[in-house]
Amino acid sequence: MIDKMVEEMKSKPFTMLMMAGMYAGMTFLWRSSASYAGVAELESLKSDVAGIREELTKTSLEQQLRSVRSELFTLQRTVEELNSGRKPVPQAYLARIDTLINDQDSLARRLTAIYSAEAAKSRGR
C-alpha cells in the first residue's frame, strides 16, 4: 500500500499534494469548528468529510487504474513485437502482465462497488 502511494506521489505529485492539502484542511476545519458547532452542523461536517474521503478514494483508484492500463498496454505491445519477430519473450514480462491484469480487475471491481454505492445513495435521496 505504501509502495503504491509513493509511486503515485512520484508520478503525480501535484495531485497528491492537492489531495493531502484538502484532507488536512478539512480535518483542521472540522476540528476547529466542532467545538463551536451545534449537533446539526457537526453532522453536516462529518458528512462533508466522509464525502471528501470517498472522492479522494475514488480519484486515487481511477488514477491507479489508468496507470495499470497504460503499463499493461505497453507490455502487451512489447510482447506482440517480440512474438512477431519470433524472439523469445522474457518470463518476467509475462508474469508482470498477469499481475497487471489481476490488479486491473481488482481496481475495476472496487470502482464498480463505489459507483454502485453512489448510485444507490442518489436513488435513496
Tell me the pLDDT tens digit for each residue of 107-120.
999 999 999 988 88
DSSP character string of 66-116: HHHHHHHHHHHHHHHHHHHTTPPPPHHHHHHHHHHHHHHHHHHHHHHHHHH
CA 87 to chain CA centroid, Å, is 36
Tell which wins on pLDDT, 34 or 90: 90
Do 60 and 20 meet the contact criterion of CB atoms below 8 Å apart?
no
pLDDT tens digits for range 27-83: 777 666 545 556 777 788 888 888 898 899 999 999 999 999 999 999 999 999 999
Report field, pTM of the whole predicted structure over 0.75: no
pLDDT at 73: 97
Question: Could you give the dihedral angle defined by the CA atoms of residues 102, 108, 114 and 118, in that order, rounded to the nearest 10 degrees?
Answer: -170
pLDDT at residue 105, as a whole number? 97
